[in-house]
Structure 1
Amino acid sequence: MWYFAWILGVLLACSLGIINGLWLEQVETNERDNKEGEQQNKQSSNTKITT
């Protein structure tokens, strides 16, 4: 029965690795989107002031 526990451990480790990778990708995407949104807000506020 040790092989059953071993395969469960391997599957758990792989699952955590995949979830961690997806989480990291989502965090990076959110940070990039926030930076782009801030830049667009600055540009739109600058054009409002100058026009």
Structure 2
Amino acid sequence: MWYFAWVLGVLLACSFGIINAVWLEFQGYEGEAEQD
């Protein structure tokens, strides 16, 4: 049953990274010039 915890941990880490990347895309990077 340990593999369930392992898979959940991996999925949680991956989803956290994806959400961070999407949030950064919409938030804009520090010092980035606004382009319209």
Q: Which amino acid aligns with 1:27?
A: Q
Query: What TM-score, normalized by structure 2, do the two folds share?
Result: 0.76
* Partner Cα distance (1:16, 1:26) in 2: 16
Deviation for aligned residue 1:21: 0.1
Render the CA deviation track for 1:19-42: whole Å, top value 9, x for unaligned. Answer: 00000000118x726xx6xxxxxx
After TM superposition, where is structure 1 displaced by more than 3 Å over at least 4 residues in a row? none
Q: 1:41 aligns to what? A: none
1:32 aligns with 2:8: no
How many residues end up aligned between the 2 structures?
33
Alignment gaps of 5+ in structure 2? none
1:9 and 1:32 map into 2 onto residues whose CA distance is 37
Corresponding residue for 1:4?
4
Percent identical: 64
Matches of 1:2 and 1:32, distance apart in 2? 47
Bigger-Rg structure (1/2): 1
